Amino acid sequence: QVNLAESGGGLVQDGGSLMLSCTASGRTYSSKAMGWFRQTPGKEREFVAAISWSSGDTNYADFASGRFFVFRDNDENTVYLQMNSLKPEDTAVYYCASHLDPSGRLTTSNAYEYDYWGQGTQVTVSS
């Protein structure tokens, strides 16, 4: 079992920045990578970014590339998502997730390949 706790969401104005954090606990050694996803009502969960614990390899959705940055602190078992130049369309509940499978691409964008999820944190960008 890997437990995930997100924090850092909130209300920000158009063009502003926020940094989300996700701290893992429990069987953290089994986690190979961490992903960030977001979801709005009535839509499927959308990939944002992912990072490998060991290599630091990253993967970004097109909309996130150049604006969002994912990084990790292995000692603290924490992954961060720095979000810059936020837009109203970035408004969503943001989730972190843990990927356990060591085969294939660790920083997968497929939500079904993640095994544990946090409770989510709301990000609202006002225009």
pLDDT digits (tens, 9 = 90+) for 34-87: 999 999 999 999 999 999 999 999 999 999 999 999 999 999 999 999 999 999
79 vs 102, which has greater pLDDT?
79
**How far, in Å, CA of 53 to CA of 29, rounded?**
10
Predicted pLDDT of residue 116 = 97
Nearest in space to 71 (alpha carbons), one of 45, 36, 30: 36
Residues counted in the chain: 127
pLDDT of residue 18 exceeding 90, the answer is: yes
Give 29's pLDDT tier (boundaries 50, 70, 90): confident
Distance spanning both ends of the chain, measured CA to CA: 40
Predicted pLDDT of residue 103 = 87
* CB contact at 8 A, 38 and 48: yes
